[in-house]
Amino acid sequence: MNQEAPLDRLVGNKHCFSFDLKSATDRWPLVFLFEVMQYLFDRSFACAVVNSTLACNIFEVHFVRNPNSRVSFVAGQPLGYHASWPLFASHHILVWYCAEKVYPGLYFDKYAVLGDNIVIADQAVAKVYEESLQNLGISISYHKSLISESGSAEFAKRFRVECQIGVWT
């Protein structure tokens, strides 16, 4: 799979917002995942994929607070959960929601998403995206993000500077 193709589509855009999300797979709210799955499929599918595998599982954790402590997921996805990346495709839906708020009824493709990697090449949509993440309780690590007015972007450990791609470590 060519993971640079989404970044290639953004060549020529001056404003690029390469956001680094803090613990995105750990913080993505299950209620958001449930609503997306319900909208795309139906309620029973959403219950099976989100609630049955994540929210309704209760785990006993003996070292937390008292010997009979129980925990369950209300946000995020457990390590090793095989449906993690497909569920995280809901990230696209969040971007589309933000774009719809800015450009109602228009097709929006000035972004690239790969899991929790994102570049948005539109100032207005990026602003709504930031606000939406905040409302969902997801933080952006601004010191690890790249916000550019020259078309530079970082995506999946690839950097684009003046139309050159390279891997920098």
The confidence score (pLDDT) of residue 157 equals 82
Residues in the chain: 169
pLDDT at 68: 67
pLDDT at 19: 94
Q: What is the pLDDT of residue 169?
A: 44
Domain map (residue ranges) of the chain: 5-24+91-166, 30-84
What pLDDT is attached to residue 64? Answer: 65
pTM to 2 decimal places: 0.78
**Looking at the domain that runs over 5-24+91-166, which CATH code has it been given?**
3.30.70.270
Dist. CA 164–CA 77, nearest whole Å = 35
* Structural contact between residues 19 and 153, judged by C-beta atoms closer than 8 angstroms: no
The span from the CA of 149 to the CA of 117, in Å, is: 19
Low-confidence ranges of the chain (pLDDT < 50): 169
What are 39-71's pLDDT values in tens digits?
A: 889 999 888 877 776 666 676 776 666 666 776
- pLDDT in the model for residue 117: 83
Whether 61 and 70 have beta carbons less than 8 Å apart is answered as yes
| Block residue for tokens 């719809």 | 100
